[in-house]
Amino acid sequence: MQNTRIILIGAGIGGLTAALALQRRGFKVAVYEQAPQLGEVGAGLTLSPNATHALEAVGLGGKLAQTASRPARQAVLHYRTGQVLVDQERGDLPKKQYGADYYQIHRADLHNMLADAVATNDPSAIHLDHAFVGFQQNGDTVEVTFKNGAKTVGDVVIGCDGIKSEVRAALWGRLPPRFTGNVAWRGLVPVKNLPPGFKIEPASAAAIGVKHSLARYLIRDGTMLNYVAFAEKSGWEVESWSVRSPVSELLEEFHDWHDSFKTFMAATPPDLLFKWALHDRDPLPQWTKGRVTLLGDAAHPMLPFLGMGAASGIEDSVVLARAFQAAQTVNEALQRYENARRERATFIQMQSRAAQERLQGGKVDNYDQKKHKNEEFLGLFGYNPATVAV
Ligand SMILES: Cc1cc2nc3c(=O)[nH]c(=O)nc-3n(C[C@H](O)[C@H](O)[C@H](O)COP(=O)(O)OP(=O)(O)OC[C@H]3O[C@@H](n4cnc5c(N)ncnc54)[C@H](O)[C@@H]3O)c2cc1C
């Protein structure tokens, strides 16, 4: 098995974590990315303890501790009054409860960490400007073709190519992602741009409202405020991370929100506010066919209302590498991987849809803390991909 030629399509957070997890278990990987340069969008990412366990297992624990933010507390806020509805301790508590920290990080910082680690292990592992277009399974091998005319042959292919996955289309047919009826704005605000005396307290919070919600937290040593604001809205369905939105449009959409939110929205530099329409897909009944499988958003794209999309792909990655180490054949490895992962990923996908009602259903004035079933109360933090049975 150690000589298995493993091809990964896509160098996002999922593909790179998988590459690193496999390298650390002695496998040689080749990652093919369509973009001519590696990169991630300017936005934040929450890493709950289940994801932190996985990143520690691939050797990034020390770097995360240096680079990521660890909020002391996390709140749920009332959209119109700004009042705290729920106040949860974080800080040292997640490590005590779940064995790993709860972090928030700039996506590019995590992506760079992963890419550097993969390239340090093998400078020839990442191939840019290679857009996957198709594969052919020939007995014990798979031949992959790319848009640039190149071809390669491996023993197994893992599609890590995101929500619009071409590998998924080649395996299971081409269906467009489902527009979920939500539009999101993501903004990054340098904290020095905020009005004097304006405080971001606590450092991490979600705000719930009527057909609208928001998540905001500090990253990069408290120098940047990251936020994502969601609105249930039809008529605009562009699924792209690079469409700019004027700040005035966001302020109009959130006109009845408390000033504590509108103040930081108004301080967003025009080049750091983007909007995109949120899509997901229904769960697949099967991920693997022969020697080809899926990972991350390619397998289970989900709404961001539990903040678990990237975390799920990170979990997949460590389980995949452990399955390859435990198995005698490629088919056994892929079966072990899918058996260990599909049920949990599907559960998170479906719960991410259900969470929309909790955050945007408008039950804000008589909010019942006991019914506060967020990702932690759903039990998602208690999963450790480095030790779960494969
Ligand atoms: C508003 C919002 C907030 C979020 N917040 C969080 C959060 O706090 N925590 C969390 O865990 N998750 C969060 N997520 C989810 C997270 O962003 C995604 O789940 C995650 O980025 C998916 O990673 P991936 O590597 O599977 O796919 P992607 O990041 O989409 O990467 C896919 C890669 O494949 C490449 N590619 C695509 N097609 C091809 C091809 N044909 N050939 C070669 N390469 C190809 C792409 O260029 C890209 O590099 C959020 C999502 C949204 C929308």
Query: Is the pLDDT confidence value at 370 over 70?
Result: no
239 in a domain, yes or no?
no
238's tokens: 């562009």
Atom of ligand 1 nearest to the CA of 46: 8
The number of domains in the chain is 1
Question: Tens digits of per-residue pLDDT, 3-30?
Answer: 999 999 999 999 999 999 999 999 999 9
- Kindly list the distances between the CA atom of residue 127 and the CA atoms of 30, 136, 194, 298, in Å, as whole numbers in the listed order: 7, 20, 41, 19
Distance CA 71, CA 58 (A): 23
pTM above 0.75, yes or no: yes
337 in a domain, yes or no?
yes
H or E segment at 364?
A: none
Mean pLDDT confidence for 77-85: 95
Active-site residue, selected from the candidate residues 32, 79, 102, 217: 217
195 in a domain, yes or no?
no
Distance CA 158, CA 141 (A): 13
Classify strands 178-190 and 28-32 as parallel, antiparallel or unpaired: unpaired
Strand-pairing partners, residue 103, are 47
Query: Is the pLDDT confidence value at 241 over 80?
Result: no
Give the domain range for residue 54: 5-176+281-382
341 in a domain, yes or no?
yes
211 in a domain, yes or no?
no
212 in a domain, yes or no?
no
254 in a domain, yes or no?
no
Q: How many angstroms separate the alpha carbon of residue 208 from the centre of ligand 1?
A: 25
CATH of the domain at 340: 3.50.50.60
Percent share of the chain, pLDDT over 90: 89
Ligand 1 pocket (Cβ < 6 Å) reads 9-15, 32-35, 45-46, 131-132, 160-162, 166, 184, 186, 228, 296-297, 304, 307-311, 313
Q: What is the pLDDT of residue 228?
A: 97
Query: Is the pLDDT confidence value at 109 over 90?
Result: yes
Mean pLDDT confidence for 175-194: 95
Is 217 among the catalytic positions?
yes
- 241-245, 312-316, 386-390: which range is least confident on average? 241-245
Provide the 3-class DSSP secondary structure of residue 351: helix
Mean pLDDT confidence for 256-279: 95
Query: Is the pLDDT confidence value at 133 over 80?
Result: yes
- 134-138, 235-239, 310-314: which range is least confident on average? 235-239
Per-residue pLDDT band at 41 (split at 50, 70, 90): confident
- 111-115, 352-356, 365-369: which range is least confident on average? 365-369
223 in a domain, yes or no?
no
